[in-house]
Amino acid sequence: MTALTPIAPGLWTDEAQPRLIGGRRANGEIIFPVPDGDAAALVEPVALSRHGTLWSWTTQGFEPKAPYSGPQPFQPFLIGYVELPGEVIVETRIVDATAADLQIGMAMEFAVVAFDDNRSTYAFRPRSAA
């Protein structure tokens, strides 16, 4: 299988066990994603934890408005917020689960997954599904 192009550069590390890349501000606050342009100079890149807990979630049941450029035909997907302890809360797709599987506070793990035929994106999945 050929490697897919990341949906955007600099989102995760190039390690065997990749991690999201956040930014640490001068005051110690961690943000994600790292800002572009001049604002990027104000943060230090930092690899984030691969593990967190599900903070909140919902189902994206209809195709988002333009400029949505996801897989076609549109398929509903799970989306949520995963808290990376002591770091940041990340908005993310949730994979390898159904809505019935999810519970607030459950353990989640980072994953790189196919977004469409040519690109990959980041997601989190329940740790038991990894």
pLDDT at 31 over 80: yes
Neighbouring C-beta atoms of residue 14, cutoff 10 Å: 6
DSSP annotation string for 27-78: TS-EESSPPPGGGGGGEEEEEPPSEEEEEEEEEE-SPPPTT----SS---EE
Question: Which region among 9-13, 49-53, 94-98 has the lowest average model confidence (pLDDT)?
Answer: 9-13
Model confidence over 37-92: pLDDT tens digits?
A: 898 899 999 999 999 999 999 999 988 888 877 778 888 999 999 999 999 999 99
Beta bridge partners of 92: 80
* Domain that includes residue 76, residue range: 5-129
Total domains in the chain come to 1
Alpha carbon distance 13, 46 (integer Å): 10
Greater confidence (88 vs 7) lies with: 88
Nearest-CA neighbor of 76 among 66, 91, 61?
Answer: 61
